[in-house]
Amino acid sequence: MNWLASLTRILCMLRKEFIQTLRDPRTRALLIGPPIIQMLIFGYAATLEVKHVDFAVLDLDRSQESRELISRFSASRYFNLKSAATRREDLRDGIDHGDFILALEIDSGFAQHLRNGQGASVQVLVDASNSNTGLVALGYLNQIGARFSRDFLLDRMQRTAPQLVASLPQIGLEVRPWFNAGLESRWFFVPSVIGNLTLILVMMLTAFAIVREREIGTLEQIMVTPIRRWEFILGKTIPFFLIGCADGIIISLVGTLWFGVPFRGNLLVLAAGLVAFILASLALGLLISAISATQQQAMITSFFFTMPMITLSGFATPISSMPPFFQKLTLLNPMRFVMVVLRSVYLKGVGFDVLWPQIAALAAFAAVLLGVSVLRFHKSIE
């Protein structure tokens, strides 16, 4: 029967691919070791938090109030007092040499102005070459400075007019973070890394494997056998689909068990999103293999696709912060949709009723990319 013969040929291709991929101990190690190592590196290193920022201070007032303000900054987990300068030039030189990011200059008369009920200012110098760190650090500085000003005012009123303190109107913000009570940026990044590593692994494996057949001349030998082209494509892609699924499971377990990221959703929802995304990654790898003549070209082309896809996925930069044109461009990026699925399933615990548009979009991407890739692959071997 035709279907039985086709199945036999596909199984032979599968056996050949698995033997070729797994027979080398180094290759087996590369399939498991790097994804785990990269997950650990991303999990520990990728963060939106800014902590222990080095700063210097030039205290020309040398009063109890100025020392209290400095202690507020240095006692915070966000700042680390690196240097107590004696000249203004020391602040400029330290920032120029990268010894610290922030510098505070407290002029003489700071305490006297506070005691007289006047406003007192502190000059802040910031190294804005890293704009994100500088912006976040300035936000922390403003919070600590505002808290110091409020405490000083309340203490003064308590001593001069205690009867007015109780009648002061105050606004209290009761913050209740949902889904991430500790505001751990690691919980935000780790689920996203699953999508990044899956894309890189599956896409490059697929692209390199087929290009390698063409480069060493075995592709033509295979195509003169009775195997059909669609059977060859299935035999080439199914092993990497299974490898991608296995690596996705391993990476997910590392993220959940090692980093303690909670998994609040449904495994079937996560599996549906990842399977659709892996198929889209396979199709992209197949397309790269069809337009590349050598493995070097395949590697360069893979980087051409990978970096923009990760950048436009919302992995680190919110899509809402991008220019309108790029916000629309992200709709053509499967990574955008798998990021929503991963973060929502892990942290929010939502199901198909909420995520079906994202999963449907991933399935549509997989179908379209597979169709285009197969057609382009047919033309490349004719």
DSSP result, 31-86: HHHHHHHHHHHHHHH--S---SEEEEEEESS--HHHHHHHHHHHHSTTEEEEEE-S
pLDDT class for 212, splitting at 50, 70, 90? confident
On the question of pLDDT at 148 being above 80, the answer is yes
pLDDT digits (tens, 9 = 90+) for 127-136: 888 777 788 8
Instruction: Tell me the pLDDT of the chain averaged across its residues.
Output: 81
| CA gyration radius, the chain | 29
pLDDT class for 140, splitting at 50, 70, 90? confident
- Closest among 272, 318, 299, 280 to 198, alpha carbons compared: 280
Half-sphere exposure of 33 (CA within 13 A, CB side): 6
pLDDT digits (tens, 9 = 90+) for 319-341: 888 889 999 999 999 999 999 99
Global confidence as pTM: 0.77
On the question of pLDDT at 173 being above 60, the answer is yes
Higher per-residue confidence, 8 vs 379: 8
The pLDDT of residue 110 is 85
On the question of pLDDT at 268 being above 60, the answer is yes
Q: Give percent above pLDDT 70 in the chain.
A: 84
pLDDT digits (tens, 9 = 90+) for 223-252: 666 666 667 777 777 888 888 888 888 888
On the question of pLDDT at 382 being above 70, the answer is no
Half-sphere exposure of 96 (CA within 13 A, CB side): 6
Q: Which residue has the tokens 């929502």?
A: 344
In the chain, the domains with their CATH numbers are 12-46+183-380 (no CATH), 53-165 (3.40.1710.10)
Mean pLDDT of 298-325: 86
pLDDT class for 361, splitting at 50, 70, 90? very high
The neighbouring-strand residues paired with 377 are: none
Give the pairing type, strands 102-106 and 53-59: parallel
Joined together, the tokens standing for residue 80 give 């680390």
The pLDDT of residue 30 is 65
Question: Rounded to 10 degrees, what is the CA torsion of 75, 81, 87, 88?
Answer: -90
The pLDDT of residue 272 is 92
On the question of pLDDT at 20 being above 70, the answer is no
